[in-house]
A and B are shown apart, each in its own frame.
Chain A
């Protein structure tokens, strides 16, 4: 009985922390419509900040708590809202998820740079040593404190949201933002307030948690998964529901820790990690018993302009070119670098798996590497000799698992799929990848594929195999996109309601595309032919895959390849820069490698500045690079040439960095403009391509030749100068060219449906309509004569359209 009471109290106290964290999540979600995946990271920062202030700087507890919870955290939340979240208002679910996930990854990277994880940072509990006797059990005051704070938070929030005008306005913003403005409310201020409140609640939970557990940035950040498993009980919107969920999860975890023998096994799976897997189990259970979401007809999200689908011919030739280029590259470079390029190609295949799911169907998964892991583990178990049959079986397994995971979440909405995949990633890490029986000593060797006499047993063969796989899968996807099924996916992304009224089964279509995506990601594992560690499959590794895929341009195969290569490039860059550090300020020296750990996060957040991913000129230019084969070839060629020159030639590392930066910032975005053929309808004066190309070559070479390391002693000044030099080069290049990359954006022609609304119909409209319907003008005239409408066409264009319609 005592044991039961002990674990009940422990469970309730962690339930209290979950409840506080979940209420913060619910508050920001209901009042801003953005689900904050970085909520755990906010709490994590607060916990570390609290340690810094109270332990490292020795500030007394109460001022430290006030500083962190009531000053720093709300300010931070408000700034995040103002700077990042305001920009993504009204954009699609995918953008909202990617931006907050990027924020989470960036904060995690930042925290690991500021507070390196190799030092232990104990935080003494509040009221240390004081306890009360309760039914024969000693209870620490700090445990009770958590409960009291949770009750105060619950009461305070209830009062705020039902009794104060400010709280009611926060709820009103969600209902109708512009109506609140018409009432005289200020939605911007309300949103900043709700993010500040959410961050403060995250900070309370983080500070309370820091006194119970050892501080770990990753663990604290991933607590967000427990938090939203709790919040899902209230459908992410109800505070009482979230509190109920918190009690269930807190008690369940406590009892599992207390009563289940960690050595107990089910098949090959030891139950020691069950407590870590509980949030995922709870999330899926709750999702299963939720009723199916109603389709909503309003609020069609702003969509990006449609991505052009390449023709099958271009896809085939592009694939061939890719294989040849990678093979040529692979035969040139040193073995140690070949490993990295091969890894990059493997990542490209995994990013490709997001093209059908996110790019075509508008759904999002945060756990692609989990499927890679399942593929890899299955292949290691079944295909020791590398047989293609085992590969097929592994891929089929991934597809099946994907379908099972997606089914409960897809009945609801996109946000739930993202939640479910993240929880699934944690579940698999606890119950599969961290199991000694399944992955002994934490690493798994995937046997290389072997078909008849061919075995992909060298890195070079593996690279060619991956290139062929990427090209083949890319072609398959282009074919699928152009098929009836592909049109169905696009239609579903545009308007689920319209699709449902046409009799399309939304759920089975979504499950199908998710299974396809899981299968491709699984193939990336089953055919990797390398050694993975369990960490490779964990959630923090998966998130950058999704982020960079979206940043690279998820609608296109080339974008996926760029995303994958970016992922591959980060480890390459960190080996090149291993010994360098950015000494920005005299007393902070950040190793370049650490900067690279949070760059993917920063890239993702940059999406939030312009949710359609179009406006920053550079981004427009980069995206255009993906569309133009010649520009892509030049980009890759330029980077490779620079790199080879460093590897084998006389270039110093700093010169390489400078030249690469100048090339990527100044030259690459302009390449599509320089290489674009002159179109007959261009009316502007032709851009001065040759002069601009010469200028760009000149500045790149100048950056490569200049002895940066010898002339400038401080790292910080050096980096500043390189950035200034690159920016100036880019500005001058645009000046020489006379055209800004912005003009690459194609104007969207007004829809013919709106003609007549914004201007009267004229005869030209009728002719345009007939042309679009594929009739020639002669057909049109003939038809008009046949139905005797000449007099009408002469007088009124509108009827002519009606005539042509028949």
Chain B
């Protein structure tokens, strides 16, 4: 196995005086989907924010493709092929669909290429090119967000709570696309609270509780531990 594309080593991080992560170790190997699961408030989103550079850790190191990226701004990481789709629709609600796609080109892809991939994969977005993104349905908004991950063709894709507030049918469809992206060779770190939806896609699953990774393993073996982690057994 090659060196992992994304690695967190004993990360501590938090907000102000409150520490949320107490030494998180997480490895995302090349061409694999890692699911980060855990109950509300376990620190999953904070872990993701540290990985993409939005929050600087107070201790520990973040390695992207083996290089320490401590202190590197998120926009620089984004231009180096690390795409993050944050929690709650990673779109700009007051821009049109087309303008949103145009923002995806900031990382270095040409607009024509982005549009081709996005409209090809999601024909509904093509119909709504000039519509303001905030007026799209929840599923369409998430598609628009995911289109960026698809079109930019990143080395690492970080996904936060893709299922949030969406109907199960749409969630299934979206995870189908995640699986496609994974097959293309992108390494993916998915954060989910509702674990069952993601276990089918993931190669590795990690359970996070109270700011530490409690266990890592095959999805099938992790599944049995889930309820105890969520209910605090």
Contacts and interface: CB of A to CB of B under 8 A. Distances in A.
A and B are partners in one complex rather than unrelated chains: yes
A169 B210 CA distance: 37
A300 interface: no
Interface in A743-757: 747-748, 750, 754, 756-757
Contact of A175 (B19, B53, B85, B94): B94
Contacts of A165: 102-103, 105-106
Interface string B43-59: 00000000011100000
A747 B16 CA distance: 11
Contacts of A682: none
A747 B14 CA distance: 16
Contacts of B99: 162, 168, 171-172
B122 interface: no
B115 to A, nearest CB: 13
A513 B167 CA distance: 46
B74 A757 contact: no
Contacts of B84: 182
Contacts of B94: 171, 174-175
A748 B15 CA distance: 13
B41 A182 contact: no
Interface stretch (A61-69, A183-191, A616-624, A630-638): A183-191
A184 B79 contact: yes
Interface residues of B, number: 38
A503 to B, nearest CB: 28
B14 A181 contact: no
A172 B103 CA distance: 8
B148 A183 contact: yes
A759 interface: yes
Interface in B98-127: 99, 102-108
Q: Classify the interface of chain B: helix, strand, loop or mixed.
A: mixed
A189 B228 CA distance: 48
A182 B90 contact: yes
A165 B83 CA distance: 19
Looking at A182, A748, A757, A759, which has the most chain B CB atoms within 10 Å of its CB?
A182
B125 to A, nearest CB: 17
Interface in B187-213: 210-211
Contacts of B41: 756-757
B106 A758 contact: no
A728 interface: no
Nearest to A180: B103
A165 B98 CA distance: 11
Interface in A182-220: 182-187
B71 interface: no
Contacts of A757: 20, 41, 210-211
B210 A181 contact: no
A175 B93 contact: yes
A691 interface: no
Contact of B103 (A168, A178, A759, A760): A168
Contacts of A171: 92, 94-95, 99
A179 interface: yes
A176 interface: yes
A573 B203 CA distance: 74
A760 B52 CA distance: 27
A168 B211 contact: no
Nearest to A189: B75
B73 A181 contact: yes
B136 interface: no
Contacts of B86: 178-179, 182
A184 B76 CA distance: 6
Contacts, number: 94
A750 B17 contact: yes
A168 B74 contact: no
A178 B160 CA distance: 14
Interface in A103-162: 162
B18 interface: yes
A175 B95 contact: yes
A182 B78 contact: yes
Contact of A758 (B19, B85, B92, B148): B19
A178 B74 contact: yes
Nearest to B73: A181
Interface string A761-782: 0000000000000000000000
Contacts of B148: 183
A175 B73 CA distance: 19
B210 A759 contact: yes
Contacts of B211: 757-759
Contacts of B92: 171-172, 175-176, 179-180
B57 to A, nearest CB: 15
Contacts of B16: 748
Contact of B54 (A178, A747, A748): A178
Contacts of A760: 210
Contacts of B78: 181-184
Contacts of A179: 86, 90-92
A185 B210 contact: no
B17 A168 contact: no
Contacts of A169: 103, 106
Contacts of A180: 75, 92, 103, 106
A747 B75 CA distance: 33
A183 B101 CA distance: 10
Contacts of B79: 184
B147 to A, nearest CB: 12
A200 to B, nearest CB: 24
A171 to B, nearest CB: 6
Interface of B: 14, 16-20, 22, 41, 52-54, 73-75, 78-79, 83-86, 90-95, 99, 102-108, 148, 210-211, 232
Which 8 pairs, one residue from A and one from B, show the smallest C-beta to C-beta distance? A184-B107, A184-B78, A184-B106, A175-B92, A181-B74, A182-B84, A757-B41, A184-B79
11 contacts: A171-B92, A172-B95, A178-B86, A183-B107, A184-B75, A186-B75, A748-B16, A757-B211, A758-B18, A759-B211, A760-B210
Given A165-B106, A758-B211, 18 more contacts: A165-B102, A169-B103, A175-B95, A178-B74, A179-B92, A180-B75, A180-B103, A181-B53, A182-B54, A182-B85, A183-B148, A186-B75, A750-B17, A754-B18, A758-B22, A759-B210, A759-B211, A798-B232
